[in-house]
Each structure stands twice: as C-alpha cells, then as structure tokens.
Amino acid sequence: MNSPVQASPHALSRRTSGHIMALVMAALVPATLAGFWQFGWPAFCLWAITVLSCVLAEALCLQGAGRRVVPVLSDGSAALTGWLLAMSLPPWAPWWLGVLGGFISIVIAKQVFGGLGCNVFNPAMVGRTVLLVSFPVHMTQWVSPQVLAQGTDLAQAIAIGLNGGIPDALTSASLLGHAKTELGRGLTLVDALQGFQPEQSMLGLRAGSLGETSALLIGAGGLFLVFKRVIGLRIPIGFLAGLCIPAAIAHAAAPQAFLPATAHLLSGGALLCAFFIATDYVTSPSAPFGQWIFALGAGLLTWLIRTWGGYPEGVGFAILLMNAATPLLDLWARPRIFGRRIGGKPLDARRAQEVTR
C-alpha cells in the first residue's frame, strides 16, 4: 500500500482560485470597455502595458525564488492586480507610469511578503499610492472624455503614451480635484459644483480614471460578483455607508463647505473600491464582524482624507490604513464558536435546557 493518504472530503466544489480571478476580471470588462471607448487608444495601451508588466514582474519573482512559474501565473492574480491598477491611473498617463506601478505592486507589495495570500497591503493600491506620492503631476492630469468621441488612432495613442503629454486643451480636473482647488481658492462649493450632474458621473461622461468614470458599469460588475457569490455584501455596503453617511450629515449641516454624498459616491473610484478593492480577499478580514469594522473604517477614512487631507483623493490611503488593521481584526473579531460564548467559554448547560422547556 504505497498510495498516499486520501483525506476526506472526497468531493470538492468546482470553484477554484483561477475561476474566482476570472469572474472578477469578467466583472471588470464592461467598465473597462466603456473606458476605452471614452478615452480611446491611449487608455487601452496603458491598460495593456500595466497588466503585462505585472505579469512579467510576477514571472521574474517566481523564477528568482525558484518556484514553478506557469501554474502560479495561471491563477490570474497578477493580471488582476495590473488590471485594477490600470483602472486607477489617469487614462492618458505615460507608459513608464504603468510599468513602474506594476513592478511596485507585484515586487514590493506582493512578492516581498511571500506572494499570493501573504501580502498585508493591497498590491494595486500600494502601486497607485506610491505613484501618486512620487509623481503627483502625472497622476493628477486627467483627460476630458467628450473630446475623444472624435477618436484617436493607435499611432497617436503610442505617441501620447511615449511622450506622456496631454494637450492642454484636452485636460480637465476630476470632480474631487476641482472641488479641492476651488475650496482652496476660497470659493464655496455651491459655486464650484455648478457643473456637477450625477447622471454624468453615472454614465462616465467626465474626467477621471477608467475605474471612476462609469459608476453605473462598475456597480453592475460589483453586483454581478455579489450574485455569483464571489464577494459578500458586507464590505461594499459597509464601505459606502462609512463614506456616504458622514458625507450626507456634513453636507446637510454646511452645504457650502462639504461635498454632497452623491458626489462622494460617484467619484474618485468609490464604487470601484467598494466592490473590487476593499473586497480583496487577501487584505480584508474573513470574519463577518471584522469585515464590518474594516469596511466602515475604510469608508470613514476615505471621507476624512478627501475632506481634510492634502490630496483630493482618499480611497488608496484609507484602504492601506485598514489593510494594516486586518490581521488584528481577524484575531479579535472572530465569529462566536457554536456552543460557546463570545469570549470562548462553553455555554451554561442548565440554562440552555431551561430555554427548551
């Protein structure tokens, strides 16, 4: 009998890690395609180069660590990280921004910690945050989408990607950036937001990254993942509640100083974060109570940073801060064990019996 020990269970569900990654990517497809349509070939080129550099970085790390490259790469996690990173970059950013971001995400944020499942911080958000802090100008140059309805061809796109220059006539501020600038100039938000129409944000007809413009398609993709039971509802609901409830209260109290909840909800990648970033398995808690704390905390931090922070954008920082709390939440916010109290002591036998009678 030299057969290995065959441990139970002798049946398995069909879903594998690879399937999960594939479902998440499928959920990203509509919003991504819409982004390509709005922002043209440069956006596609940046997306492709970011994804490829993530995969390349992962392959090099695995090779260097002496691990099997192909089976690990085929789980799709590196490509997904690249995809999410590309969704959070300005669509017309120069090519090296995508490459650098990809390598930072995979090498520093993921493989240094031990690869898939071992990283503390969300790789895509680490990549984005490092880029934002290091290249604030490039990371906040947004292109206005309406212009591109006329279209750019591939050759132009490559030129834009190589030179990294957006013609001044085509640049536009993102909503949150605009609000921050105007408040800084001493204007009230009532004046600053005269052009803000929620419907535009829903459809994505304004400046921003791939992942923040089309709120409608991002939300639809997220609900698809919920429906497929890839993600639960706790983190999306918790995150959006943590962001919108304080925003709504503050706006009701002082509309001239605080953005309305709809503006927070529909811009700055809040929905992308709620459904795709905060729900990252590896860097979020796995127990229900911990998930609530994590999500509410991330939402609240996002609002605080957006409102009082130095950057107009707060999602990345908020997620990284809550990522740091995840191991503790997993330790402290464990579910109650059946037959035990929350602290771990067994239930009282006699009292349980009285309940029955």
Partner 1 sequence: MAHVVIPPIRRLLTRWGIHPDSHKFPAAGLDIADAGLPPLLVLPLSQQAGAPARPVVKVGDHVLRGQLVAEAVGHVSAHVHASTSGTVMAIGDAPMPHPSGLPGQGITLRPDGLDRWVQRDVEPYPINLAPEEIARRVAAAGIVGMGGAAFPAAVKLALGQRSSIHTVILNGSECEPYLSCDDRLMQERAGDIIEGARLLLRATGAQHLLVGIEDNKPDAIDAMKLAAHPYPEVSVVRIPSRYPMGAERQLIHTLLGVEPPAGGRAADVGVVVHNVGTAAAVWRALRHGEALTERVITVAGGAVAAPRNMRVRVGTPLSWLVERAGGLTREPARLVVGGPMMGVAVPDLDVPVGKGASGVLALTVAEVGEREPSACIRCGSCVVACPVGLMPLEMANRINAGELGQAEDIGLRDCLTCGACGYVCPSRIPLVQYFAHARGELMARERERKRLDEVRELTEARTARHEREAREKAEMHARRKAERAAAQAAEAAAKVSATQEESA
Instruction: Give the binding site for partner 1 (CB under 8 A).
Output: 1, 3, 5-17, 19-20, 71-72, 75, 77, 115-118, 281-282, 286-287, 330, 334-340, 346-349, 352-353, 355-357
Q: How far is the CB of 18 from partner 1 (least distance, A)?
A: 8
Instruction: Give the pair of three-digit tokens for residue 104.
Output: 């930072």
Instruction: Give the pair of three-digit tokens for residue 147.
Output: 């212009």
Tokens 């180069």 correspond to 49
Q: How far is the CB of 47 from partner 1 (least distance, A)?
A: 23
Q: How far is the CB of 303 from partner 1 (least distance, A)?
A: 26
Cα-atom radius of gyration of the chain, to the nearest Å? 22
- Give dist(CA 46, CA 167) in Å, integer: 17
Q: How far is the CB of 277 from partner 1 (least distance, A)?
A: 15
In a 3-state reduction of DSSP, which class is residue 172?
strand
Tokens 């707060």 correspond to 314
Say what angle helices 95-103 and 123-134 make with each other, to 10 degrees: 130
Q: Is the dihedral of CA 104, 208, 270, 185 positive or negative?
A: positive
Beta bridge partners of residue 340, listed in sequence order? 346
Beta carbon nearer to partner 1, 122 or 267:
122
In a 3-state reduction of DSSP, which class is residue 142?
strand
Q: How far is the CB of 109 from partner 1 (least distance, A)?
A: 15
Beta carbon nearer to partner 1, 111 or 214:
111
Beta carbon nearer to partner 1, 257 or 281:
281
Tokens 């089309």 correspond to 214
Beta carbon nearer to partner 1, 182 or 330:
330
Beta carbon nearer to partner 1, 89 or 298:
298
Q: How far is the CB of 253 from partner 1 (least distance, A)?
A: 37
Beta carbon nearer to partner 1, 2 or 150:
2
Beta bridge partners of residue 172, listed in sequence order? 142
Q: Taking Cα atoms as reference points, which of 275, 148, 294, 298 lies closest to residue 212?
A: 275
